[in-house]
Structure 1
Amino acid sequence: MSIQDQLGGPVTTVHAPHARPGFGRVLILPGVYAPQADTRLLAEAIRRENVSGLDVLDLCSGSGVLAAHAARLGARVSAVDISRRAVLTTRLNALLARQHVAVHRGDLLGSLPGRSFDLIVSNPPYVPAPRSALPRVGLARAWDAGLDGRALLDRICAVAPVALRPGGVLLLVHSGVSGPEATVRRLKEAGLRAGVSDRVQVPLGPVMRGRLGWLRERGLVGSEGNEEELVVIRAVKR
């Protein structure tokens, strides 16, 4: 039985030759977030960290391209996602990239008790949604993050500092719609030095466009324009 038959949907092949850094050929199973502008922005931030020989964790790994990217740069990489399909996708893309990644299924750090890392990277769900409850199944699970988009962000700000070694770094990417100031504040309250290291303006994606009226009603998006800011928050454990 093929992967497509097992999962009940098409397996998408993504080619990203335009990306810097490029991800090459990537397989995306149904319900898994495909690499986009936020993925590329975080990949570039990872490249600047000189990760060779470091223990790196990709939290909410999704497609696994960031985990494979860090491994390609010489890191010892673990990856975690709560979605079974994301876990399988991460494993497949690590194999395609010919990189070793230790992949775990779990809720954030729950599957790695007591582990610590030199670098934690995360591109979690962060899109505000018209419902507070997080979806447990379906494609929306890859991006919906509660009314303010912070359901996962706030939890990561709480747990990631505990798993960082002294001098360790957290790289966290999300939309400006989801409150970068709140992320920086929470990480500073946890004792980290934190700030925005990268910013880029990109067109609103199809999910944001589909709920643009609702986002504007809540004051999360301005009345004009069809772009959003993506940011990478860099935080260092003292």
Structure 2
Amino acid sequence: MELKTAKYDLKSYSNVYEPREDSFLMLDALELEITFLNNLKPVFALEVGSGSGVIITSLACVLEQCVYFAIDINDQACLATKNTSQLNQCNIEVLNSNLTDGLKDCLFDLVIFNPPYVVTDPGEYEKGMINKAWAGGVSGRNIIDEFIDKLPNVLSESGVCYLLLLKENDINAIQKILGKLNFTSEIILERKIVGEHLFIMKIRKIRGMNKCDLVIELK
């Protein structure tokens, strides 16, 4: 099944990350996984750091049985995501929060994260809201590691997470961390572009908490 890029319009959202090669790599990976996802039959899906909303909206257009949520620390990105979903006649609930801090006792069957992965000076992340979309600190993993630490309490027992990574993030080290948290992981797609070697990692639980009803609670 073809996963078409959702229509979007960021003219009113200049402080929001424009879809680029990393975004399109994630879309290509999700397209490869459509049969798997259809068989998985996810009920609740979440994109962390939704930005323009293109990724989760594109998926919502073809995987219609899900209830979709998007979360972003940038309030302008939240508005852009909502606008993108409306342009494509999709229903996505959008929350303004850092990572999954705005959610309590939530389990999702599908989690997507295109994180700030670029290797930068430690203070780059705090220089502006748009910087939070790409600045990842010394190893590019400041936000990635924080996300992974929260993942056991976010992903359902049978769920799947798709995480975009850069070669400099140290894929092997990330997989060791995931293993200690009782996750299995594999690279399902990679792409070299100018100045970057990008990967999509597929993450699933080896064992974990029992699946429970989803409860959304804003802090």
> TM-score scaled by structure 2?
0.83
- Residue in 2 that maps onto 1:64: 53
Given the alignment of the two structures, is residue 230 of structure 1 paired with residue 198 of structure 2, yes or no?
yes
- Residue in 2 that maps onto 1:203: 194
- Residue in 2 that maps onto 1:214: none
> Which amino acid letter does the alignment assign opposite residue 129 of structure 1?
T
1:60-209 equivalence runs, <5 A:
60-72=49-61, 73-74=63-64, 75-132=66-123, 134-135=125-126, 137-204=128-195
Give the 3-state SS of the residue equivalent to 2:37 in structure 1: coil
Identify which of 3, 27, 31 aligns with 2:9: 27
Contact 1:70–1:77 (CA under 8 A) maintained in structure 2: no
Give the 3-state SS of the residue equivalent to 1:42 in structure 2: helix
Contact 1:58–1:80 (CA under 8 A) maintained in structure 2: yes
Contact 2:6–2:54 (CA under 8 A) maintained in structure 1: no
Q: Give the % identical residues.
A: 24
- Residue in 1 that maps onto 2:210: none
Give the 3-state SS of the residue equivalent to 2:139 in structure 1: coil
Give the 3-state SS of the residue equivalent to 1:26 in structure 2: coil
CA deviations 1:93-152 (Å, max 9, x no partner) are 111111000100101111111111001110011111123462252432221111111011
Q: Distance in 1 between matches of 2:75 and 2:83?
A: 12
User: How many residue pairs align between the two structures?
Assistant: 196
Give the 3-state SS of the residue equivalent to 1:31 in structure 2: coil
- Residue in 2 that maps onto 1:45: 29
Gap change, CA 1:84 and 1:21, over 3 Å in 2: same
Give the 3-state SS of the residue equivalent to 1:43 in structure 2: helix
Q: Distance in 1 between matches of 2:29 and 2:76?
A: 26
Give the 3-state SS of the residue equivalent to 1:45 in structure 2: helix
Structure 2 gap ranges (5+): 207-219
CA RMSD of aligned residues (A): 1.7
Offset of residue 53 of structure 1: 4.8
Offset of residue 78 of structure 1: 0.4
Contact 2:45–2:108 (CA under 8 A) maintained in structure 1: yes
> Which amino acid letter does the alignment assign opposite residue 28 of structure 2?
E
> Which amino acid letter does the alignment assign opposite residue 173 of structure 2?
A
Contact 1:197–1:232 (CA under 8 A) maintained in structure 2: yes
Q: Distance in 1 between matches of 2:56 and 2:27?
A: 9
Give the 3-state SS of the residue equivalent to 2:79 in structure 1: helix
Q: Distance in 1 between matches of 2:120 and 2:20?
A: 19
Q: Which moved more, 1:46-55 or 1:28-37?
A: 46-55
- Residue in 2 that maps onto 1:15: none
- Residue in 2 that maps onto 1:6: none
Q: Distance in 1 between matches of 2:143 and 2:172?
A: 15
> TM-score scaled by structure 1?
0.77
Contact 2:70–2:92 (CA under 8 A) maintained in structure 1: yes
Give the 3-state SS of the residue equivalent to 2:115 in structure 1: coil
Q: Distance in 2 between matches of 1:53 and 1:153?
A: 23
Q: Distance in 2 between matches of 1:105 and 1:97?
A: 21
Contact 1:132–1:147 (CA under 8 A) maintained in structure 2: no
CA deviations 1:28-78 (Å, max 9, x no partner) are 221211111211221232231425553111011111111112211212210
